[in-house]
Amino acid sequence: VFDTAPAHRSLNNAKLSTIASYHQWLPAFQQIWVEVDNDLSRFYERVQQLADLGVSERTLALEVLLVEQSSMPPSITP
């Protein structure tokens, strides 16, 4: 029997958790992108600043970005 989707065989909780985290924080990173006016170097700087924070501080900063992103009018949201 030929398996047309071999990647599904290796799907596990760790991979699902990674996917969930990506989707959870994606709007926060979209908010950063808007705040830096689509400037890639400034975006990387802001992301590095987040990376330099401790876990709880980084989580709080991302949660604040989520609130900011959710309060933007739909026409501005990326």
Quote the pTM value: 0.72
Render pLDDT for 16-30 as a digit per residue (tens, 0 to 9): 888 888 899 999 999
Number of domains within the chain: 1
CB environment 49-78: b (16+ within 10 A), e (fewer) = ebeeeeeeeeeebbeebbeebeeeeeeeee
- The answer to the question of residue 19 being in a domain is no
User: Closest Cα partner for 32 from 20, 48, 47?
Assistant: 47
- The answer to the question of residue 22 being in a domain is no
Render pLDDT for 41-60 as a digit per residue (tens, 0 to 9): 999 999 999 999 999 999 99
Domain extent, residue 59, equals 27-78
39 — pLDDT class (breaks 50, 70, 90): very high
Give the residue with greater pLDDT, 39 vs 78.
39
- The answer to the question of residue 16 being in a domain is no
Q: Tokens for 37, please give them.
A: 């006016």
